[in-house]
């Protein structure tokens, strides 16, 4: 059985937010796909914060080869900045870990999911190239 890291996060707990609904959906996915689930939950932690205890533990274990899949309920639960999300997705790719985002329908365990992942990665690389060009042009002008 493939071991799946399931990551759930809410930023505020005082407004009644709870990771339970995310965890339930992720556990249902794991059951459907016959994955062995390992759940990582963060409550009261902002997605803008890149260093989070449970995410850090998940990524350490991912790098050690413990997981074949990383699943999240929605991309913004994993991270709020595009560079951080891309870094995590790149780590998944480097370590042979498939990625699933339930809400967005991104699932690199399928051919269409791999295509979407490639398109997103290409767009991010394109945006980075444009940013570098703008910075260089600004510096040359200055």
pLDDT in tens, the chain (142 residues): 899 999 998 877 665 578 889 999 999 999 999 999 999 998 877 767 778 899 999 999 999 999 999 999 988 788 777 778 878 888 998 999 999 989 888 888 888 877 877 776 677 667 767 888 888 888 888 8
CA angle 26, 77, 127 (to 5 degrees): 125
**Is residue 11 annotated as a catalytic residue, yes or no?**
yes
Q: Which two tokens stand for residue 103?
A: 């809400």
pTM: predicted TM-score of the whole model, two decimal places: 0.78
Strand partners, 139: none
**Of these residues, 11, 46, 51, 81, which one is catalytic?**
11
Cβ(103)–Cβ(74) under 8 Å? yes
* CA atoms of 96 and 91, how far apart (whole Å): 8
């Amino acid at each position: 059985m493939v071991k799946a890291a399931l990551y759930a996060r809410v930023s505020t707990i005082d407004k009644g937010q709870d990771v339970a609904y995310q965890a339930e959906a992720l556990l249902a996915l794991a059951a459907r796909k016959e994955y062995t689930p390992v759940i990582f939950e963060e409550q009261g932690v902002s997605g803008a914060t890149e260093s989070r205890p449970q995410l850090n533990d998940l990524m350490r274990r991912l790098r050690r080869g413990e997981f074949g899949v990383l699943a999240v309920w929605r991309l913004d639960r994993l991270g709020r900045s595009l560079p951080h999300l891309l870094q995590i997705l790149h780590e998944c790719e480097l370590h042979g870990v498939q990625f699933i985002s339930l809400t967005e329908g991104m699932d690199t365990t399928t051919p269409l999911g791999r295509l979407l992942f490639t398109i997103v990665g290409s767009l991010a690389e394109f945006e980075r190239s444009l940013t570098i060009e703008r910075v260089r042009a600004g510096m040359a002008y200055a």
